Structure 1
Amino acid sequence: MGPAWLWLLGAAILPSVHCRPFPARGDKSPGAPPAPSDQLSAPAPAYHKITPTITNFALRLYRQLAAEASGNVFFSPVSISATLALLSLGAQADTPTQILEGLGFNLTEISEADIHRGFQSLIHTLDLPSPKLELKVGNSLFLDKQLKPRQHFLDTVRELYGAFAFSANFTDSATTRRQINEYVRKQTYGQVADCLQEFTRDTLMVVLNYIFFKAKWKHPFDRYQTQKQESFFVDERTSVHIPMMHQKEMHRFLYDQEMACMVLQIEYSGNALALLILPDPGKMEQVEAALEPETLRKWDRWLLPSLLDLHLPRFSISGTYHLEEILPHIGLTNIFNLEADLSGITEQLNKTISRVSHKAAVDMNVWGTRAAAASGLLSQPQALNTTRAPQARFNRPFLVLFWEVTTQSLLFLGKVVNPAAG
C-alpha cells in the first residue's frame, strides 16, 4: 500500500447578504409543510427524502466541531454530505453502506438509489436560477492523467451530481493545486481563495463540491444607523469592539425559557432564511447539547411576528476543517482505513483517503436595497412604537443557520464567537 492518494474537498462556500437586489421564489419557514396543491396526486420531490437526514448530520457534525474549537465555527452540511454521497458511487463491497449510514441514512427505510436521486433533485433545485437569490452548487472531479476512470462512474456522477471530471497532473503538485484553487475562485466569483492546501505527489484525485450563496435582506439595515464601535462579549473576560447594525422591524421571534435562548428568524429577499440563536449568558453549551431536529421544528411552530429593536453585528468569519480527523467521531470511520474499497472509480485506486478538506465563509452586513413587498408571514406594524419593541442585542456568542426554503435544506451552520476574528 502506498501513502495517501485521495482528497475530498468541500469548498468555496460564501453566504453573503450584502449583494445587489435580486428577486424571490416564495416565503415559507424551514420545517413547515409544503403549501397545499391542487395536484394532490403529484409525488413529493425526491429531495424531501434526504433533507431531514442532512439536517440531523449537520447537528451531529456541529457538536463535534464545536467541541474541538474554542472560536468561530462555520461549515456547509449540504456541501459535505453531497461530496461524501458522490464518493459512495465509486465505492465497492461494504464501503457505500458505510458511507451512507455514516451520513445517517437508514438503508432499510431508503434505498441507495433513492438517496442519490434525492441529491440529484436537491442539487438541481438549489441550482435553479432566481433573480432575488443567487445560489450556485456544483461538483467536480480532478483525476490524475495516469488514471483510467471507469466510464460508468463518470456517467453516473455526471447524471446524478452534475459532476464533471478534469484531467490533472498531480506529479506537479504545486501547479495542480494552483489550478484547482483558481477554478474554485472563479466558481465563487473570487470570494473563496486557497481552499486547497498542500498535498503530496501521491495524491491522485480530488473530489470537489462548492456552494455559493448571495442574498439581500428582505428588510435591509440602514447603514447610517450602524454604530461604528460597540462591545461584543466573547466571554466573561474578553470583549471586542465591532460595527453593530441596527433596525426596528417585524421579524419572527421567540424566547425559549426551557432552553434559555432567544430565537430570531430573518428573511432574505429570495427564498432563504437566517435563523439566529442567542443563548443567555453562560448557556451556550446547554443550547448546543439540546440542538436537535425536533428543536428546530418546535421553534418553527412557536415563532411569532414581533416588532424588534434589533442590534446585529456586522461580521465576516470562515471555517477551514480537516474532516478526516472529525468524521470518524460521528460514524464515518471505515472510509479512512485500508479496508475501504473505492475501486468503482478506477481499477488503479486501492489506497486510503488521506484528507477531507472543507472551507466555508460568511459575510454579513447591511448593504442591499429595501424590498417593496411585505412577507406573507409577517404583518407590518400600524406604527413603529419605540417604547414597546423588545430589544434583541446580539452582543455575545450566537448560532446562525442559513436555510433554503423550497427544499427545506440547511445550507450553512455556524457559531459566531468572535466577529472580529475573521
Structure 2
Amino acid sequence: MMSFTLKFCLIAGLCILVPSHLAEELPDSENTLPPPSSASHIISPSIAEFSFDLYRLLVSKSNNTNIFFSPLSISTAFSLLALGARSATHDQILQGLRFNLTVISEEEIHQGFHHILHTLNLPGNELQLTTSNGMFIDKKLNIIEKFLEDSKKLYASDTFSTNFEDNEAAKKEINDYVEKETKGKIVDLVQDLDPNAVFVLVNCIFFKGKWEKPFDTEFTTERPFHVDNKTTVPVQTMNRLGMFSVTYDNDLACNVVKMNYLGNATALFILPDVGKLEQVENALNKELVFKWSRKLHRSAVNLYLPKVSISGNYDLKVLRELGITNVFEDISDLSGIIEGVNLQLSQAVHKAVLNIDEKGTEASAATFLEAIPMSIPPTIDFNRPFLVVVYETETRSTLFLGKVMNPTAN
C-alpha cells in the first residue's frame, strides 16, 4: 500500500507594532461577506470545543512545557482532507474536529471554513493575517477532479505536480513553499520526507498584529518570571498603566485581561493565581471563555506582560486520542482524492511560532494619551505561567491557543 504524507505548517508572528494614530473604526471593505448568522458562526463553536480538547490533550503530554498551536490551522487542514475521505475515515475526521453531524451538514462545515478563509484574507485590514493551503501531488497520479475543484473553490488551495521519486527535490519544493507563505519565519520544516510519500498537504497561517494600545519601549525592564516555586528566570517585561478590559474569576482564582489588535483580532491573557493553573486548565472550555467575555469591564490597571518568543512542534497522530484513528491506519479510506491508490496518512506535523514584543517595522514613534482615575490602580503582573487565546472577532474563530510556562524557553 502506498502512503501519503500530510504536513502541517503554521507561523503566528504576534509582533506588536507601534501605530502612528489612535485606533479608528475601520471602513467596511467592498469585498466583505455579509455578517451574520454567517456560515463561519455555525462552525466556530465546534472549532472552539476542538481547541480546548486538544489543548488539554497536549497539556497531559507536555511535562510542564510551553504550548502553542493554531486550532484553526489544524481543523482547516483536516476538514480539507475530509473532502476526499470516505466511510468511517470521513466521519471520524469531522467528529474528531467536534462537529456533530446530526445537527450540522458537511456542506455547512465546508462553507463555514470557506467563509473564515475568505474573511481572513480580505485586503485592507490593518491586521496582517493570511492563510494558505498547498497540495503537493505525485506527478504520476491522477487526482480526482471533484476533489481538486472543491479544494480550490472552498479552501483556495494551491496544487503542485511534484516528482516524489526525487526525495530531496520534493522536500525542497515543499520547504520553499512553506518559507514563502510564512514570510521566511519557518525554514526547512520538512526534515525527513517519507520515501513512500505521494501527497503532501501544507496549511499555513501568518499573523502579525499591532496592539490597539501599544506599549512604550521606555518602560520595558528585566523582571523575574516564576516558572515554578523552584525556578525563576529573568525576562524582558513590558509595562503599561492604562484602561483595560479585565475580570477576576473568583471560582477559578484567575485574572483575565483582554487586549485588542488594530483590525479584527483580540487576545485574552489568563493569569491563574499561584497554585491554580491546573484548576483553570481543567475548567477551560468555550462556555467559560464566553462567561469571561460577558464579565469583562473597563478598569485602570498597571499591567506587566513579558516579551515572549516560543514555538510548538507537534506530531498530530495525537489526534487518535480525539477519535481520528482510521486515517493513520491501513484501513484508511481517502478514495476521494486520487484514482486507484490507497492512501494512508503516514506523517502529520504542526508547527506554530509566537512572538510578542513591543517593537515593529514602523520607525515612527507614537504618543498614546489616556485618562485614568487618580486612585492607585491595581497591578496585574504576568510574572508566572499564563494562558493566551487569540481569536478573530468577525468570524469568531480561534486562531491560536497556548500556555506560556517559560517565556525564555523555546
TM-score band by shorter chain is over 0.9
2:342 aligned partner: 350
Match of 2:139 in 1: 145
Number of the residue aligned with 1:293: 286
2:355 aligned residue: 363
Task: Answer whether contact 2:20 2:365 (CA < 8 A) is retained.
Answer: no
Query: Whole-Å Cα distance in 2 between the matches of residues 345 and 307 of structure 1?
Result: 55
SS in structure 2 at match of 1:14: coil
The 8 Å contact of residues 233 and 396 in structure 1, kept in 2 or not, is answered as yes
Is 1:259 matched with 2:257? no
Q: Give the 5 Å matches for 1:5-84.
A: 5-19=3-17, 21=19, 44-69=37-62, 70-84=64-78
2:127 to 116, 121, 133: 133
Which residue of structure 2 aligns with residue 35 of structure 1? none
Say if 2:89 and 2:327, in contact at 8 Å, map to a contact too.
Answer: yes
* Residue-by-residue CA offset, 1:154-195 (whole Å, 9 max, x unaligned): 011000100121011222222221221121111121112222
Matches within 5 A, 1:306-345: 306-324=299-317, 326-345=318-337
Match of 2:212 among 218, 221, 228: 218
1:161 and 2:155 aligned: yes
Tell me if structure 2 keeps the 8 A contact 1:232–1:240: yes
Paired position in structure 2 for 1:249:
242
Q: 1:268 aligns with which of 261, 264, 267?
A: 261
Cα distance in 1, alignment partners of residues 48 and 24 from structure 2: 22
Alignment-mate amino acid for residue 130 of structure 1: G
Provide closer, same or farther for how the CA distance between residues 161 and 335 of structure 1 changes in structure 2, counting only shifts above 3 A: same
- 1:164-203 aligned at under 5 Å gives the runs 164-203=158-197
Q: Cα 1:111–1:371, aligned 2, differ >3 Å: closer, same or farther?
A: farther
Distance 2:323 2:367 in 1: 47
Closer, same or farther in 2 for the Cα pair 1:294/1:371, shift >3 Å?
Answer: farther
Equivalent runs, 1:336-415 vs 2, <5 Å: 336-368=328-360, 381=371, 383=372, 385=374, 387-415=375-403
Q: Which residue of 284, 299, 303 corresponds with 2:296?
A: 303
Amino acid at match of 1:367: K
- Identity, in percent, stands at 43
Offset of residue 15 of structure 1: 3.0
Deviates more, 1:17-26 or 1:60-69: 17-26
User: In structure 2, what is the Cα distance between the partners aligned to 1:126 and 1:180?
Assistant: 23
In the alignment, the residues of structure 1 paired with residue 194 and residue 279 of structure 2 have an alpha-carbon distance, to the nearest angstrom, of: 42
User: 1:93 deviation in Å?
Assistant: 2.5
Quick one: structure 1 residues 346 and 410, their matched pair in 2 at CA, closer, same or farther if it must change by over 3 Å? same
C-alpha change, 1:22 and 1:296, in structure 2 (3 Å) is farther
Q: 1:26 deviation in Å?
A: 5.3
After TM superposition, give the deviation of residue 274 of structure 1 in Å: 0.7
Checking the alignment, whether the CA contact within 8 Å between 2:328 and 2:344 is kept in structure 1 is: yes
Q: CA deviation at 1:20?
A: 6.2
Give the number of aligned pairs.
398
Q: TM-score, normalised by structure 1?
A: 0.90
CA contact (8 A) 2:138 2:199 kept: yes
Unpaired stretches in structure 2, ≥5 consecutive residues = 27-33
Q: Once the 2 structures are TM-superposed, how far is the Cα of residue 312 of structure 1 from its aligned partner?
A: 0.5
Shift of 1:17: 2.5
Q: Distance in 1 between matches of 2:119 and 2:167?
A: 35
- Tell me the distance in 1 between the aligned counterparts of 2:256 and 2:165: 51
Q: Which amino acid aligns with 1:352?
A: Q
Which stretch of the first structure deviates more once superposed, 345-354 or 246-255?
345-354
Deviation at 1:25, TM superposition (A): 8.8
Matching residue of 2:29: none
DSSP-derived class of the 2:281 partner = helix
Contact (CA 8 Å) 1:7, 1:203: kept in 2 or not?
yes
Residue pair 2:17, 2:214 contacting (<8 A) in 1 also = no
Q: After superposition, what is the alpha-carbon deviation per residue over 1:300-358, rounded to whole angstroms, capped at 9, x for unaligned?
A: 0101011110110001110010111x101112122212222101111233142111110
1:373 is displaced (CA, Å) by 9.2
Aligned-partner residue type, residue 332 of structure 2: A
TM-score by length of 2: 0.92
The answer to whether the 8 Å contact 1:143/1:168 transfers is yes
Three-state SS of the structure 1 residue aligned to 2:113 is helix
Cα distance in 1 between the residues matched to 2:198 and 2:9: 18
Q: Per the alignment, in what secondary structure is the counterpart of residue 252 of structure 2?
A: coil
Conserved 8 A contact 1:319-1:360 = yes
Name the CA shift for 1:63/1:272 in 2 (closer, same or farther; >3 Å): same
The alpha carbon displacement at 1:54 in A equals 0.3
Aligned position for 1:103: 97
The whole-number CA distance in structure 1 between the counterparts of 2:236 and 2:11 is 24
Q: CA deviation at 1:384?
A: 5.4
Equivalent-residue separation in structure 2 for 1:178 and 1:281 (angstroms):
47
Which ranges of structure 1 fall in alignment gaps of 5 or more residues?
A: 28-40, 375-379
Aligned counterpart, 2:109: 115
How far apart, CA to CA, are the structure 2 residues paired with 1:256 and 1:412?
Answer: 22
Whether the 8 Å contact between 1:276 and 1:401 is mirrored in structure 2 is: yes
